[in-house]
Structure 1
Amino acid sequence: MDNSQNLTEYVHTIVQSFLRAGVKDVVISPGSRSTPLAYGFSLTKEFNIYMQIDERSAGFFALGMAKVKNSPVLLLCTSGTAAANYFPAIVEAHYARIPLIVLTADRPHELREVGAPQAIDQVQMYGNHVKWSVDYPLADGNKETTPFVERHTGRAVTLAMSAPMGPIHINIPFREPLLLDFDYKIKSSTYTSSIPGAIIAPQTTVDWVEETIRYTKRGFLIVGELSKSFSKEKFWIFAKSIQWPVLADALSQLRSGVPEDCQHLLIDQYDALLKSENFKEAVNPDVVIRFGAQPVSKPLSIFLKVSRPRVYMAVDEDPLFRDSLGVVTHHIHSSSQVFWKEMFDIQTNETLSIWTQANSLSKQHVEYYIEDQQDEGALVGTLIKHIPDGHDLISGSSMPIRDVDTFFSQTTKDIAIYANRGTNGIDGVVSTALGIQRARNRPATLLIGDISFLHDTNGLLVSRFHETDLTIVVMNNDGGGIFSYLPQASEEIYFEKLFGTPTGLTFEAIANMYQAEYFYVESKQDFQNALTTAKQKDLRIIEVKTNRHDNVIAHRHLWTGITEELDRIWNN
């Protein structure tokens, strides 16, 4: 067998192994050394091929797709620094538990560490931020090579999908020439499939959980960002049976489509409520159960650290369970199905009525605020009201996700909310949004700040290669808005230079570059008009001019008003 046939068999073995394992989506950045695999995937018509020139943006685009598909998406790039540009997305995938599989083409072993161009040390280059890393052999024609790459490719998919899901790195060296034999006939496979199992809690754990819940009068449930396998329907059956308040993060997807007989249980204003000392005293819990990640809310985190519930259960499939606050007392190493039994009689929860009343009062303040104010918070509230049924909302980090958490209240609309909260970074958000929209295949709106938008304008390149249906709302307060809420803002001499970082930029030129529909608005009425204007192009950018100083004053006025009313009612 000649070298061309060796290479062709090798590449087709990898490609077909991914296909048999159920992988369908491949994001490719162009490059020479990755030519064999680029051809291999493109020749196999069952794959969906997506192109993105910028590897950093490609990583986040693939991450967005994998986030909503709950299945592996492949990333393919050439050798050298191209592979290094995947690193931010891989870090996010690691902490957000997203199944990315990264394929980095590499120089052959004889060209490593000898000064060859586009050659860096790619072996295990992502360190502990991937679940597994493997350096494949060359396509040498050895009879053991094909079975090796076949089984390890299947293993990569299984590991990416096993709990907790996460990224995998496969480094694949190629020796020139890099072209395939397009007439080569693919041989039969010896592929071995993996059958996934489930993590099920023992009966003793189930009995203990049931007993703890049955005798608890002051408890509540926390639901953060969840895996796609989490059953909303079964969760609400469980919540209804125990009648505990449900503190649902905006990313939990539980604020939309709540069953009518459970709507009184959903607490969506807890971030504002937990700024009141008197209210916190009134609802101090004995038992807390958390599903998913810790929510965005800082007041909730502070409340849990101070109150330290007698029992705090974290339900997590990962033995390295998430406990950033150091307050978890019991880690339930299991899927959430241990709770999906209607095994409890309706309880008398001493704090449910308090939570419900306070939640209603806070909503009244928020609704008046949205109508009365002109700041970013009111604008985000306006945006949320105008998002149509059957659309998605993707949020940037920093202030956007905090405003979404505050102003996205319970709704009957089918609106899913997404954000990168694995590491809470502001990079790659545009690309993630484009990946989410593509995978969901329905209209989406991205809410993002001006600095975060500037971090990833290259992400818009995807719109030149693939269809999209995305509206980008850029809150342009000319700098890092969230720093205005932090103690750094009191040091006026250094604040603007080190933290505010105003750029003085507007984004019409960027919109024109990508032939996007563009609106520049400076008032809430103009914003409403832009949101309700029929979309003319696949990509729309709405730039909203705001003021950082005014935002802080208005937000604090809202929180103060809610806190003062709660303190009056629950005055000890």
Structure 2
Amino acid sequence: MYSNKKIVQSLGEILISKSIFHIIISPGSRNAPIIIHFTQHDYFKTYSIIDERCAGFFALGIAQKIKKPVVLSCTSGSSVVNYYPAVTEAFYQNIPLIFITADRPKKNIDILEGQSINQENIFKNHVESSIQLTEEESKLGLWYNDRLINESINKCILKKKPIHINIPFSEPLYETTNFLQVKPKIIKTLPVINYIEKSKYYKKEEFIWKKSKKKMILLGLYHSEKKLEKILKKLSIDPSIVIFTETTSHVYGKLFFSCIDQLIFSIKNQEWINLKPNILLTIGGNIISKKIKFFLRKFPPLYHWHIGENIKNYPDTYYSLTNFWSIKPEFFFKIFHGNNLQSSDYRYRWEILRKKRIKKNNIFLKKEKSFSDLKVLFFIFKSIPKYSILQLGNSTIIRYYQLFDKKKYSVKSYCNRGTSGIDGCVSTAIGYAVKSKKIVTLIIGDISFFYDSNALWNNYTPNNFRIILINNGGGNIFRFLSEKKISKKIFNFFETKHFLTAKKICEMHNWKYEIVSDKLSLKNNLYVFWNKSDKPFLLEINTQKSNNAEILKKYLSYLS
């Protein structure tokens, strides 16, 4: 059984031709033709997520795992706008999502019709393609829709960016047929590999690279390929090169510097001036560390080169960009390789600093006896099972993870750092877990969790999914970030104080739940936390008795 709307039949057949079959549907009436067609078609795997905001991030999590486009469908009106947080996150994280929104016919817009808003191009600033289809079922109308659908989905695949397909539907909406009435045109897309041809045009850059004795490679958000990791490992033996990586970079090497904030947070200006690079080479997207942004902007390098595909605007993050290379990093390094090692003590000087920081880190954590966010998270990060997946909440959690050495390179970690919002962290993690056979653990703060608690309202959360909820009573990051003393009345609008727990939410959704507030209880619960279970498991850790912001400040001050 199929929808009798030819536009929907064409859309389905084009998706099949491009091997796209995960469809996240939010229930509604105007999108009834899509619901009928895709849920009855044997090819598609459909999921029902009622909250469109959660649905958007749930789809993002699946796409993050399978590295292929995922489709979403919702009804018309305000439901469409609820997709926007996930649209922006997918755009800046380079995640391919296909947002299909049902709409009223154009003649019904702006005449006080229910669930009607101006949906055409509503996401235009944050999608690779935005198309408005026609209901016309003539030969010309079908050709027009087929062309636009092919072109838009091909952009989604090639650019790894979200797209928006808006489809007007006139009533009746629920009519069906037993036979397909269309045979849409299929336009294939073939990827083109860009590369640098070694020529006289790069003689100057080659000379600068080879002669420089202080080169810093900084990786931000990057969906890594093993090729790049191998190249960087070879480069890391060059004494003139330091390689800084973040949690979201997904590359690992013994000589890489992976704890940026631990290393530089307490560094003095003069120290940085002595250690700053001549050449800064950046790869990937957003950088989590605010401190390295501060130093690179205040004391910029002589040259800043950025490598990145599918970027419309030059990412001049540090206000000093001199070269932009719109290619894959491995092609860049075919020319700018490290065969001629420079005589330099640059990496050695950073290594000395790192050893000092690690020593002080160990002393502080050994002395500190509080049951604080810092101590709890340090203990948890050491306990994560090998070969599992770690999803991290935004704000404080991801920043704490940046402080500690990740010796378990087998643990892959993810965080929504496209726009860095707290919305959707739980939904994304569950979406990822749905397609993963490994244990998936989300570590998240209380405000982020409660903000996205609707994520638990679904029928798909696997039993291998775990949440560790750090409940410090609300928004502690603002106590850390604010350097000036703010009156209590004003501060109440920054920090979200509360006395909530996740107990009732877990009962409502039939999750296993435990709460701890001391080290012994935490240790005992973690001992069984990742064991096989017949339910998803949430472990809540209450750290409200500790002055978490002050302990973190004391820790960072002690490192210097």
Cα separation, 1, equivalents of 2:355 and 2:483: 34
The residue number in structure 2 matching 1:153 is: 149
The residue number in structure 2 matching 1:7 is: 4
Of 443, 446, 454, 2:442 maps to 446
Tell me: CA distance 1:485–1:420, structure 2 relative to 1, closer, same or farther (3 Å): same
* Post-superposition offset of 1:548: 8.1
Of 532, 539, 560, 1:542 maps to 539
The residue number in structure 2 matching 1:427 is: 423
Cα separation, 2, equivalents of 1:396 and 1:528: 22
Tell me: CA distance 1:523–1:197, structure 2 relative to 1, closer, same or farther (3 Å): same
- Listed as ranges, the matches of 1:236-275 within 5 Å are 236-240=232-236, 242-243=238-239, 244-255=241-252, 258=253, 263=254, 265-274=255-264, 275=266
Of 337, 354, 360, 2:330 maps to 337
Residue 29 (structure 1) aligned with residue 26 (structure 2): yes
- Listed as ranges, the matches of 1:116-515 within 5 Å are 116-138=113-135, 140-163=136-159, 165-204=160-199, 207-229=203-225, 231-240=227-236, 242-243=238-239, 244-255=241-252, 258=253, 263=254, 265-274=255-264, 275-277=266-268, 278-317=270-309, 318-341=311-334, 342=337, 344-373=339-368, 374-407=371-404, 409-462=405-458, 464-487=459-482, 490-515=485-510
Cα separation, 1, equivalents of 2:432 and 2:2: 38
Tell me: CA distance 1:228–1:548, structure 2 relative to 1, closer, same or farther (3 Å): farther
Tell me: CA distance 1:185–1:305, structure 2 relative to 1, closer, same or farther (3 Å): closer
Cα separation, 2, equivalents of 1:5 and 1:559: 61
* Post-superposition offset of 1:493: 2.8
Describe the superposition over 1:445-487 as per-residue Cα deviations: whole angstroms up to 9, x where unpaired: 111111111111001113x245352211111111111000123
Q: Secondary structure at the match of 1:559?
A: helix
Tell me: CA distance 1:5–1:336, structure 2 relative to 1, closer, same or farther (3 Å): closer
Deviates more, 1:34-43 or 1:504-513: 34-43
Cα separation, 1, equivalents of 2:345 and 2:338: 20
Tell me: CA distance 1:286–1:518, structure 2 relative to 1, closer, same or farther (3 Å): same
Q: Secondary structure at the match of 1:89?
A: helix
Q: Secondary structure at the match of 2:11?
A: helix
Report the residue type matching 1:316 in the other structure.
G
Tell me: CA distance 1:115–1:370, structure 2 relative to 1, closer, same or farther (3 Å): same
Cα RMSD, aligned residues only: 2.3
Tell me: CA distance 1:145–1:296, structure 2 relative to 1, closer, same or farther (3 Å): same
* Post-superposition offset of 1:369: 3.9
Cα separation, 1, equivalents of 2:403 and 2:442: 17
Residue 82 (structure 1) aligned with residue 72 (structure 2): no
Structure with the higher fraction of residues in helix conformation: 1
Q: Secondary structure at the match of 2:99?
A: strand
Report the residue type matching 1:531 in the other structure.
L
Q: Secondary structure at the match of 2:435?
A: helix
Q: Secondary structure at the match of 2:539?
A: strand
Tell me: CA distance 1:488–1:305, structure 2 relative to 1, closer, same or farther (3 Å): closer
Cα separation, 1, equivalents of 2:79 and 2:137: 28
The residue number in structure 1 matching 2:106 is: 109
The residue number in structure 2 matching 1:568 is: none
Contact 1:437 1:444 in 2 (8 A): yes
Describe the superposition over 1:80-134 as per-residue Cα deviations: whole angstroms up to 9, x where unpaired: 1111111111121222222111000111223222222222211111231222211
* Post-superposition offset of 1:267: 1.0
* Post-superposition offset of 1:376: 0.7
Deviates more, 1:110-119 or 1:310-319: 110-119
* Post-superposition offset of 1:525: 2.7
Q: Secondary structure at the match of 1:154?
A: helix
Tell me: CA distance 1:5–1:250, structure 2 relative to 1, closer, same or farther (3 Å): closer
The residue number in structure 2 matching 1:523 is: 518
Cα separation, 2, equivalents of 1:54 and 1:115: 25
* Post-superposition offset of 1:212: 2.4
Deviates more, 1:40-49 or 1:244-253: 40-49
Cα separation, 1, equivalents of 2:69 and 2:445: 29
Gaps of 5+ in 1: 564-572
Cα separation, 2, equivalents of 1:543 and 1:207: 58
Report the residue type matching 2:359 in the other structure.
Q
Describe the superposition over 1:267-293 as per-residue Cα deviations: whole angstroms up to 9, x where unpaired: 123312222215424312111111112
Residue 49 (structure 1) aligned with residue 46 (structure 2): yes
Cα separation, 1, equivalents of 2:137 and 2:210: 64
Tell me: CA distance 1:519–1:279, structure 2 relative to 1, closer, same or farther (3 Å): farther
Describe the superposition over 1:415-461 as per-residue Cα deviations: whole angstroms up to 9, x where unpaired: 11111111111111110111122233421111111111111100111
Q: Secondary structure at the match of 2:34?
A: helix
* Post-superposition offset of 1:324: 2.8
Tell me: CA distance 1:192–1:57, structure 2 relative to 1, closer, same or farther (3 Å): same
Cα separation, 2, equivalents of 1:185 and 1:550: 64
Describe the superposition over 1:45-68 as per-residue Cα deviations: whole angstroms up to 9, x where unpaired: 222212211111001111122233
Q: Secondary structure at the match of 2:4?
A: helix
Contact 2:480 2:553 in 1 (8 A): no
The residue number in structure 1 matching 2:553 is: 556
Q: Secondary structure at the match of 1:515?
A: coil
Give the count of matched residue pairs. Answer: 549
Report the residue type matching 1:427 in the other structure.
D
* Post-superposition offset of 1:28: 0.7
Contact 2:2 2:36 in 1 (8 A): no
The residue number in structure 2 matching 1:566 is: none
Tell me: CA distance 1:190–1:521, structure 2 relative to 1, closer, same or farther (3 Å): same
% same residue:
27
Cα separation, 1, equivalents of 2:37 and 2:2: 13
Give the TM-score taking structure 2 as reference length: 0.92
Contact 1:6 1:141 in 2 (8 A): no
* Post-superposition offset of 1:41: 1.7
Tell me: CA distance 1:445–1:281, structure 2 relative to 1, closer, same or farther (3 Å): same
Tell me: CA distance 1:520–1:206, structure 2 relative to 1, closer, same or farther (3 Å): farther
Tell me: CA distance 1:215–1:343, structure 2 relative to 1, closer, same or farther (3 Å): same
